[in-house]
Amino acid sequence: MGASQSSSSDQLNKWSHSIWGCCSPTRICLLGCCCPCFLYGKTQSRLNDPALQEHTYLNGDCCLYTVTQSCGLHCLILARKRTDLRKRYRLSGGVCGDCLQAWCCSSCVLIQHEKEIEKQCRTLTYQQPPTMIYPEPR
């Protein structure tokens, strides 16, 4: 009887897209595989500006990713960002898994991050349109 029951608010959400679902859509797949620094910069911009109104492909996050990738350390910032995303959106997983996935397939992680943040931003910014009210007949 000593076991406590966790409430539904304690439960973690699943990622909306699998780490292995990185081949679609094609534009994100190509960007993540061919120009990962641009996708990283775009994804980080989306966290602060979901509509990407102020986004440019060549930004500070893009440069950070380029420098760390040239040193082989990009998996460290990816693992850290993955942990931050999991906490922010209450997603399942753990730090060890974050590190392992970032190390083994950084492009897949980048693509999954972009798709997850894009979905979360759509969900959070959706507003129900006002209810239609018909005027009284005269």
Q: Which two tokens stand for residue 80?
A: 């850290």
Cβ(60)–Cβ(131) below 8 Å: no
User: DSSP code of 13?
Assistant: B
50-69 pLDDT, tens digit each: 888 888 888 999 999 999 99
pTM given for the model: 0.79
Number of H helices, E strands in the chain: 6, 0
Percent of the chain, pLDDT > 70?
86
Phi, psi of 91 (to 5 degrees): -95, 150
Q: Which residues of 32-53 are buried (b: 16+ CB within 10 A; e: fewer)?
A: beeebbbbbbbbbbbbeeeeee
Q: Per residue in 112-126, pLDDT tens?
A: 999 999 998 887 655
In this structure, which amino acid lies at residue 93?
G
